[in-house]
Amino acid sequence: MSSEPTRGETERHDIQQDGDEVLARQAAESMAADIGFDESAVGEIGIVATELASNVRKHADSGELAVSKLSDGDRAGIRIESFDIGPGIVNVDAAFADGTSTAGSLGGGLGAVNRLMHQLTVAAPGEPDFGTKIVADRWIRADHEPQTSCPLSFGAASRPAANETVNGDSFVIKRWDDHVLIGVIDGLGHGDEAHKASNAATEYIETHYDNSVASIFSGTERACRGTRGVVMALARFDWTDNTVTVGTVGNINHKTNDESDLTVIPRRGVVGNNGPSPKITQSEWHPTDRLVLFSDGIDSHWEFSTVWANNDESATVTARRLLDQHSKPHDDATVLVVSDSDDA
């Protein structure tokens, strides 16, 4: 996969007056269909074009929308770019929060663009006559058969704090090709607002799972604007080259067996509240390695060697046992376990 995709055919549309948003949407949908996106994706790409064109009309006197075909190896995709000629978006952070969409527009402003596209970059105002530039890419996901069967087993267990009806914690396990992405997400506090934050993060991660770990954190930061924010840890396994790539922001804990070479560099902060970029590390992953990710609703004072006392126990049963034995009653709690598939 190249660092920058190849741009093919490009159509440019001036955004100056009422009705230009409709023409931009039609152009984006037509190109998306021509590229091979399915009907649902074509409609979502149309929403993105409408939102970006509407932002130009809202925040500047005029501008331009460009729609381009993209290619990157065997992947095909579309790029939608908007350019303001004017002051641009004054508060880019606020524009990503749901509820700030333009009057009469579809979706939820830039938050919808962030959710519906695979990659999003924003250049904020910096020059007198140059507004905001937004670049949004979406790809057709290639359907590849795994080269080898997954050698890993995954299990998770989660519950809300005592006296709460909703869980402010969440977890993700997404498998594709020869990869798995796992994650533990903890919305700040507990109750409805924590649940809202973790849901926003989980929804983004589950629809962008095959992006790089760094890109997923960046997109989740935007997805959680307007919420309390979350702390989270993600780990991406690739069993064709026996590696695991990890990123964390905030106090998601982890434990591994003594033989593991896993390196995790913690970062303080909150995703969604101008949190820092995670320190991304890549380590070797051996068949005998084990990993437990857990939120701060789990007491960390337990010995790793006691976890796999019963080697016939599945990862799911291990996760449930850890939750039962070590969770704190007055906080949301989540455990995610990674072991060898032979353990189950």
Tens-digit pLDDT string for the chain (344 aa): 446 889 989 999 998 888 888 999 999 999 999 999 999 999 999 999 998 998 888 777 788 999 999 998 888 999 999 988 766 666 666 667 654 433 344 446 788 898 899 999 888 655 555 678 899 999 998 766 666 788 999 999 999 999 999 999 999 999 988 899 999 999 999 999 999 999 999 999 999 999 999 999 999 999 998 899 999 999 999 999 999 999 999 999 999 988 889 999 999 999 998 889 999 999 999 988 999 999 999 999 998 887 776 667 889 999 999 999 999 999 999 999 999 875 44
* CA 181 to mean position of chain CA atoms: 11
pTM of the model: 0.85
Residues 59/92, Cβ–Cβ less than 8 Å: no
> Using an 8 Å Cβ cutoff, are 51 and 101 in contact?
yes
Contacts of 97 (CB under 8 A, 6+ apart): 109, 111, 225, 226
Q: What are phi and psi of 158, to 5 degrees?
A: -150, 150
**Is the CATH code 3.40.630.10 the one for domain 6-139?**
no
Question: Measuring CA to CA, how many Å separate 46 from each of 39, 54, 80, 118, 141?
Answer: 11, 12, 10, 15, 18
The position carrying tokens 């080269």 is 147
What DSSP character marks residue 180? E
Report the C-alpha gap between 30 and 32 in whole angstroms: 6
Distances (CA, A) of 155 to 206, 289, 334, 340, 343: 17, 15, 11, 11, 12
Q: Which CATH class is domain 152-343?
A: alpha beta
Whether 6-139 and 152-343 share one fold: the answer is no
Residue spans per domain, the chain? 6-139, 152-343
d(CA 158, CA 150): 24
